């Protein structure tokens, strides 16, 4: 290679490296400004809700139960979300999971469902979401009962923000949307829907559900590999069952947004 060609390569290399450094510096500067701005907005939302803002989360009560709003930024293989969790210990009617499915004809823009102007009906709901419950009768009492249309409309009102999902376990109600929210209006709407669903559960859910340890439940499935197990460990926070080997492989609970690294 001639000396002139080598010099050109060096110059171009320095130019590319300088551009990368400038871009990274810009991103770093933007994040430094963005963080405090988001915190101010979320503190304002907490004040309007009559709640406290602690360690980046909004802490409050829903129906006399402890509740909190957590904000999860996007990361490597981790989508952004905002979650409202409400304590259900001693009140939980069972386990329920309602998650979006990519049904034919479902339109999304940047993760937000494009919802037609008409009110969503039950058939559209069943085509857009997968629902699972233990015991199965929980679906009938919560989602298929006489207030089915009202429950669906309340839940799907969050689609204007981002696609929602609902989980009920022995420990808590967890309502989330697939965005890291910062504006007060969206945060308050998410909390309001969580309050409505909590009251609906308290009013209509069947009583007398007997919770057993994961290893004693016939047909219990590991939250990691989804195979049945005779013996297991359970998450110390949400009690989700796992094979011990699967837990040691992942290092934490498989339940969305739980994050516990302790098993019992």
205's CB contacts (< 8 A; 6+ apart) are 93, 94, 138, 141, 142
pLDDT band at 112 (very low <50, low <70, confident <90, very high): very low
| pLDDT given at position 27 | 57
> What 3-state class would DSSP assign to 210?
coil
- Which of the two residues, 223 and 216, has the higher pLDDT score? 223
Dump pLDDT digits (tens) for 23-39: 766 655 555 555 688 88
Q: Which two tokens stand for residue 1?
A: 């290679």
Decide: residue 126, CB within 10 A, 0-12 exposed, 13-18 middle, 19+ buried. middle
| 125-to-115, 135, 195 alpha-carbon distances in Å | 11, 21, 21
Choice between 237 and 159, residue whose per-residue pLDDT is larger: 159
Question: What are the tens digits of pLDDT across the range 58-109?
Answer: 999 998 999 999 998 887 677 889 999 999 888 888 788 888 876 434 444 4
Residues 111 and 242: their CA atoms lie apart, in Å, by 30
- For 121-151, write each residue's pLDDT tens digit: 566 777 788 888 877 777 777 777 677 788 8
Helix or strand (DSSP H, E) at 4: helix 3-48
- Please give the model's pTM, rounded to 2 decimal places: 0.64
Q: How far apart are CA 152 and CA 178, in angstroms?
A: 18
Distance CA 44, CA 201 (A): 29
Nearest to 222 by CA among 257, 264, 254, 250: 254
3-state class (DSSP) for residue 246: helix
By the 10 Å C-beta count (0-12 exposed, 13-18 middle, 19+ buried), 156 is classed as buried
């Amino acid at each position: 290679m001639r000396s002139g060609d080598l010099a050109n390569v060096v110059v171009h290399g320095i130019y590319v490296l300088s551009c990368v450094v400038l871009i990274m510096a810009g991103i770093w500067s933007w994040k430094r400004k963005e963080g405090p701005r988001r915190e101010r907005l979320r503190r304002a939302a907490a004040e309007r809700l009559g709640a406290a803002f602690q360690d980046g989360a909004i802490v409050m009560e829903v129906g006399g139960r402890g509740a909190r709003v957590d904000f999860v930024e996007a990361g490597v293989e981790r989508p952004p979300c905002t979650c409202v969790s409400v304590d259900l210990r001693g009140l939980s009617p069972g386990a329920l999971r309602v998650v979006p499915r990519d049904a034919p004809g479902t339109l999304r823009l940047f993760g937000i469902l494009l919802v037609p102007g008409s009110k969503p009906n039950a058939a559209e709901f069943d085509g857009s979401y997968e629902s699972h419950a233990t015991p199965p009768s929980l679906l009938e009492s919560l989602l298929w009962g006489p207030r089915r249309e009202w429950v669906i409309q309340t839940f799907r009102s969050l689609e204007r923000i981002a696609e929602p999902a609902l989980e009920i376990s022995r420990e808590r109600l967890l309502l989330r949307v697939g965005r890291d929210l910062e504006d007060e209006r969206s945060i308050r709407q998410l909390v309001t829907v969580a309050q409505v669903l909590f009251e609906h559960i308290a009013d209509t859910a069947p009583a007398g559900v007997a919770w057993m340890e994961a290893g004693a439940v016939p047909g219990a499935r590991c939250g990691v590999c989804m195979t049945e197990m005779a013996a297991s460990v359970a998450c110390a926070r949400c009690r989700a069952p796992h094979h011990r080997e699967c837990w040691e492989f992942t290092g934490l609970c498989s339940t969305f947004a739980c994050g516990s690294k302790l098993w019992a």
